[in-house]
Structure 1
Amino acid sequence: MGQEAKTLPFFSPQIKVPATYMRGGTSKGVFFNLEDLPVQAQIAGDARDALLLRVIGSPDPYGKQTDGMGGATSSTSKTVIIAKSTQIDHDVDYLFGQVAIDKPFVDWSGNCGNLSAAVGSFAINNGLVNPERIPENGIAVVRIWQANISKTIIAHVPVTHGEVQETGDFELDGVTFPAAEVLVEFMDPADGEGAMFPTGNLVDDLVVPTDVVAAGVLKTTMINAGIPTIFINANDLGYTGAELQEAINGDPKALAMFEVIRAHGAVKMGLISHIDEAAGRQHTPKVAIVGGPVDYTSSSGKAILSTDIDVNVRALSMGKLHHAMMGTAAVAIGTAAAIPGTLVNLAAGGVDRESAANGHVVFGHPSGTLKVGAEAKFENAQWQVTKAAMSRSARVLMEGWVRVPGDTLK
């Protein structure tokens, strides 16, 4: 007897979208040219968010992002959209989306400083920069408009024989292999919507529940530079500032405590009106602990001596201690270190860092060290920073198409 053919249920076939998978600094993400996105996703809204969530593999209750391009960490659950710039004297517009791992949302509230290092390379490779601005051999200066926060970023991209040079001998702690150095400058990095110090103070008393600290108050420096960041003295929470990831990420009570602090700090900074809103704004603000320079062994086994660094900083991103340091938080660190009286400056020795160290600070993080510079000045009765700069590297990991089920955009 012949076997009867079965009628299979119809499911929308997959669609493919041109994309590039890139590492920038100590992060990696999926990069898109705006014009390559499906029409529905070329504008901000539910369709765009649905596409990016499916690309990355979120929300994933298992926390692994197995069915997507995400790497199940805040550093690897990222998306970028690049377009020819709508701004005068800029080459490209750069929009960053931090994709939640276990929740169905994309946070558009801030920038990714690490992936900023890859934007210039992507823009050149995809023909978004005027060829006249690209030398045959030398450094291409790519002017980037950071659309999330309405700020300018300048990427200095090495070019050899007319093509982006990605290989080199520049080593970046937190990245396994050396690559070409990319200098990234964050111009006027203070929050464009308000003051650098939203409360008007270099140090604030942040009221928190007594189960966080018995006194119910924490000394904090809250700054809008690079990304809104809340700095806390490490020893006020029982830490040294030299901890590695497991010391905090393996402690659910500690993670919950930091989230409570972050929520209360977000309210005091004026970013949200009630602590309950913090759950829907995971990308900002960041929370970090600072401590004086002490010896420790990095996550790679490298010995970091107290004489190698000015200060230790550990920062949390998307609810977990970062394996290295977010680029935007590094801008906040460099800026705060340059301003006498902040907790970061005091932990670094309380000196006028702009004149003592040419505006640079070297800080320790779980993967090693990083040097960041900032130009700060006191003008018109307030502190201003004209730019912050650091060296990163970037590399294309894969390019082609990313595929998602065709009903994703419905």
Structure 2
Amino acid sequence: MTQIFIPAVFYRGGSSKGLFFHARHCPRDPAALERMLLSALGSPDPYGRQLDGMGGGTSSLSKAVIIGPPTHPDADVDYTFAQVAVDRPVVDWGANCGNLSSAVGPFAVDEGLVRAADGEALVRIHQVNTKKIIHARFPVRNGKAVTAGDAAVDGVAGTGAPIALDFLDPGGTVTSGLLPTGQVIERVEVDGRIFEMSLVDASNPVAFVAAEDAGLTGSEHPDAIEGNREAMTLLDRLRRAAGVRMGLGSTPDGVGLANPKIAVVSAPAPFVTLDGRTVGREAQDIAIRMLSMERAHRAVTLTGAMCLAVACRIEGSLPHGLCSRDAGTQAIRIGHPSGIVAAGATVFPRGEGWHVESGRVYRTARRLMQGEVAVAPFDGEGKP
């Protein structure tokens, strides 16, 4: 059957890229929608390159966003995120992408979904996957989002206009709470060994494990981590065991690909970034190497950085013990394979637990292409 064409915009948001669709252009049937997204991104691709679609062969480049009218009284738009697997026919709806969140506000303004006067715009975003509210603030000129500016994001070439993202009440996105098990430290058994981990759900659920416990230093490049099959197998088993503890599956095999993420954390140490720069110990407060969709991330997911900043402020947690200073109200400087990202969070004790009021990060975004993307027909009759 002949392919069909769907209006779409291709965006870079932070260190990710993805296809943005209006909800009105997408099929309502969930199965048809997933077929459309898989076709648009070029999945599944056993060669891992997504050459027959818009994906880039890694989890950070195999994403889609659907924007529609708000269904929350405190929002201007609804934002639904889809993580598309590269090598299998899987679309995961269980998480948010913090990086692509930075492009939602500019998309809404540029597409006329939100009117904004010149100056700083505020777009209130209802993140449907996590049922949370995000405030995006960014400059607008002549009714369009400004893209040029001096803000830099490690892992992204060049500079752009700054986009401030405030994640409101980000604890407990897809689990029961900020600390889904109620404990700041969980002892997880895998292969007869006990691993101390912190399981935290802020912006997205993340299972934190110490680098040395995983047989790593915490300063490795992503390719080195992926080449260590023993470590990759261990980290996947730890992630799945943690997912059961967090209520994301009744068995390890029942835990999905997207959540929880697993992050290897370590105390600050000098490392060389992917572009060859040397980052000193004094430039960072904690280091992270994160896995996403069974691949080592070349930077750090924005929601992962936010979750780590929150965890660093929870006394007794694994990240709190590895963080090099008590940052107080200052942003936590996080070392990752592409450089440094700063993430702030307001966290305080409440009752017998902890509460996170908000978290803030800065990103840049740019519209790369607009038009129509070719996809296979949604149904047997070739109709969208």
Q: Same fold (TM over 0.5)?
A: yes
* Cα deviations by residue, 1:285-332 (Å, 9 ceiling, x for unpaired): 000111111111111111100000011111100111100010111111
1:392 CA drift (Å): 0.4
In the alignment, structure 1 residue 287 sits paired with structure 2 residue 262 = yes
The secondary structure found in structure 1 opposite 2:360 is strand
In the alignment, structure 1 residue 367 sits paired with structure 2 residue 367 = no
Contact 1:65–1:72 (Cα < 8 Å) also in 2: yes
Contact 1:362–1:369 (Cα < 8 Å) also in 2: yes
Aligned counterpart, 2:355: 384
In the alignment, structure 1 residue 262 sits paired with structure 2 residue 244 = no
Contact 1:359–1:375 (Cα < 8 Å) also in 2: no
In the alignment, structure 1 residue 172 sits paired with structure 2 residue 172 = no
- The counterpart of 1:239, out of the listed 216, 221, 242, is 216
Q: What are the ranges of 5 or more consecutive residues in structure 1 without an aligned counterpart?
A: 1-11, 211-215
In the alignment, structure 1 residue 63 sits paired with structure 2 residue 45 = no
Q: Per the alignment, do residues 318 and 379 of structure 1 end up closer, same or farther by CA in structure 2, a change over 3 Å counting?
A: same
1:238 CA drift (Å): 2.1
1:162 CA drift (Å): 2.3
Residue type of the partner of 1:99?
A: V
Query: Which 4+ runs in 1 deviate beyond 3 A?
Result: 407-410
Alignment of structure 1 residues 176-195 onto 2, 5 Å:
176-192=157-173, 193-195=175-177
The secondary structure found in structure 2 opposite 1:282 is coil
Residue type of the partner of 1:207?
A: E
The secondary structure found in structure 1 opposite 2:242 is helix
Alignment of structure 1 residues 11-410 onto 2, 5 Å:
12-37=1-26, 41-43=27-29, 45-129=30-114, 131=115, 134-136=116-118, 138-192=119-173, 193-210=175-192, 216-278=193-255, 281-349=256-324, 352-353=326-327, 355=328, 358-406=329-377
The secondary structure found in structure 2 opposite 1:155 is strand
The secondary structure found in structure 2 opposite 1:384 is strand
The secondary structure found in structure 2 opposite 1:289 is strand
Cα distance in 2 for residues equivalent to 1:292 and 1:119: 34
The secondary structure found in structure 2 opposite 1:230 is strand
Cα distance in 1 for residues equivalent to 2:201 and 2:376: 39
Contact 1:165–1:180 (Cα < 8 Å) also in 2: yes
The secondary structure found in structure 1 opposite 2:254 is helix
1:352 CA drift (Å): 4.3
Q: Per the alignment, do residues 218 and 409 of structure 1 end up closer, same or farther by CA in structure 2, a change over 3 Å counting?
A: farther
Q: Per the alignment, do residues 395 and 346 of structure 1 end up closer, same or farther by CA in structure 2, a change over 3 Å counting?
A: same
Contact 1:340–1:352 (Cα < 8 Å) also in 2: no
Higher CA-based Rg: 1
Moved more, 233-242 or 59-68: 233-242
Give the TM-score normalised by the residue count of structure 2: 0.96
Residue type of the partner of 2:28?
A: Q
* Cα deviations by residue, 1:10-47 (Å, 9 ceiling, x for unpaired): xx21211000000001000000011122xxx135x111
The secondary structure found in structure 2 opposite 1:42 is coil
Cα distance in 1 for residues equivalent to 2:239 and 2:376: 36
Cα distance in 2 for residues equivalent to 1:337 and 1:407: 45
Residue type of the partner of 1:31?
A: F
1:157 CA drift (Å): 1.8
Q: Per the alignment, do residues 376 and 359 of structure 1 end up closer, same or farther by CA in structure 2, a change over 3 Å counting?
A: farther
Cα distance in 1 for residues equivalent to 2:376 and 2:131: 33
Cα distance in 1 for residues equivalent to 2:82 and 2:376: 20
1:409 CA drift (Å): 6.5
How many pairs are equivalent? Answer: 380
